[in-house]
Amino acid sequence: MRDLIIAPIIVALCLIALRRPWIGVLGWTWISLMNPHALSWQLSSLPVAATMAGTTLLAALFTREPRNFKISAEMWVLIAFMCWMTITLTLAFDFDNSFTMWKRVMKIDFMVLVTIVLLHSKRQLIAFIWVVAASVGFYGIKGGLFTLATAGSYRVWGPTGTYIEGNNELALALVIVTPLLRFLQLQTQSKWIRYGLTAAMLLCVAAALGSHSRGALLAIGAMAMALWWFGGRQIGILLSIVAAAAAAYFFMPEEWFSRMHTISEYQDDGSAMGRINAWTMTWNLARDRFFGGGFEIYNATLYALYAPNPDSVLVAHSIYFQVLGEHGFVGLALFLALWILVWWQAGKLRKSGRARPETRWVAELGAMCQVSLIGYAVGGAFLSLAYFDLPYNLLIMVVLARRWVQSEGWSKETASPPATTPGGST
């Protein structure tokens, strides 16, 4: 039954993308983040994402849809990071496995650049944000309802075979997407859609808590305070955060509190000490090898060479140490520079967008992107999600919003009848 629902949607998107490549970009984003074909029986083994990407690129070459090849500072840094990862690939300890991961990362980063080239209007950007938020929010709503139904007694997991398969990874994705749901709520005039988005945000937080992820708890706390600060420091937002925290305190089971309590007792926790061991291994490797070890360095051989405890073999469990171990200090510098630039530009949008009523949505988007980045920076310190699509979609949003303002697209679009998006916003 699922195949009969999902397959026609994917086929329709591919056909539409042949005439409107920006629709293909939205389809790619949906497939890449949500992995709807993984929920079916037959489609999961087919190259669905590759088909959508190929259709989009083909249409981009032969249609007359607008394209913008102007390269921003963030794009230059991303391209430099891609080149550096290609260099470290050639010197990888395990070239075959590293090459497999390199192909996956390059596809994601390349489609990020393609998306920036093909999307150009406010209407398209808002549609893109809806797709991103809905793709991840689907699992938040589903997981939140599961958490409520089971009183938080069982962990919430993500879709199999994806970046967010694990409970920790899904929780971080939900932390990142929650501020985007808030942005969409600010753009809609429909009270029912606003109520629905409020419910979606609460369920996403409930699902993140239901993952029993300790890193997610820290990320939720950081995201919540940033949401209040960058959201105008409104009393209503603060009261909502306090009410949600109180509800979680009385709702979550004892085993959840026992697990969260280990955050302050990491010395006695095997998982925490294993992560510190992995971080030390990547640090020692980067100090020994200028180019790092390449992708997929987490094996017994390298742990025997660089780890304090060679018997505890884990992945990096940190976006920072992951990049450091795999691509050296240069790779880490490029990675950090990328997100610092995105943060800085989002801040500029937040401030400059207040100048006119027509650009207020830009200020709100910049603020919510900064909130999402705080969640990623804090939660990512404990997870290996350096190449996950979702944060790079924040980069897309920031670049496109700034480009729209710089081209004075607001004056052109407001002079014509407004195009509608879900909820009636323009």
DSSP string of 44-110, one letter each residue: GGS-HHHHHHHHHHHHHHHS------PPPHHHHHHHHHHHHHHHHHHT-SSHHHHHHHHHHHHHHHH
Which two structure tokens, joined as six digits, stand for 422?
Answer: 């879900």
Q: Once rounded to an integer, what is the mean pLDDT over residues 384-400?
A: 94
Backbone φ and ψ for 123, nearest 5 degrees, come out as -60, -40
pLDDT computed for residue 422 by the predictor = 44
Q: What angle do CA 217, 199, 261 make, to 5 degrees?
A: 15
Distance CA 373, CA 3 (A): 35
* Percentage of the chain exceeding pLDDT 70: 84
pLDDT given at position 158: 79
Q: Taking 60 as the threshold, does the pLDDT of residue 133 lie above it?
A: yes
Cα Rg of the chain, angstroms: 21
Q: pLDDT class for 78, splitting at 50, 70, 90? A: very high
Asked whether the predicted pLDDT for residue 81 surpasses 60, the reply is: yes
Model confidence band, residue 416 (pLDDT cutoffs 50, 70, 90): very low
Query: Could you tell me which residues come within 8 angstroms of residue 283 by beta carbon, excluding any fewer than 6 positions away?
Result: 321, 324, 325
Highest mean pLDDT among 203-217, 285-299, 302-316, 326-340: 326-340
Kindly report the length of the chain. 426
Residue type for position 362: V
**206 pLDDT tier (thresholds 50, 70, 90):** confident
Q: Are 404 and 125 in contact (CB under 8 A)?
A: yes
pLDDT, averaged across the chain: 84
Domain spans in the chain, listed from the N-terminal domain onward: 1-65, 72-265+316-414
Who contacts 311 (Cβ-Cβ below 8 Å, separation ≥6)? 303
Alpha-helical regions (H) of 150-263: 167-187, 191-210, 214-230, 235-251, 254-261
Which pLDDT belongs to residue 72?
92
- Retrieve residue 396's tokens: 């897309």
> How far is C-alpha 373 from the geometric centre of its chain's CA atoms?
9
Q: What is the pLDDT of residue 261?
A: 58
In the block, which residue shows the tokens 């996403």?
Answer: 204
Give the whole-angstrom CA distance, residue 53 versus residue 390: 17
pTM to 2 decimal places: 0.87
pLDDT at 85: 96
Region 383-403: mean pLDDT is 93
CA 86 vs CA 178, 287, 292, 321: distances in Å: 33, 20, 12, 18
pLDDT at 359: 85
Cα gap 29→11, rounded to integer Å: 15
Q: Which single residue is written with the structure tokens 């990320």?
A: 219
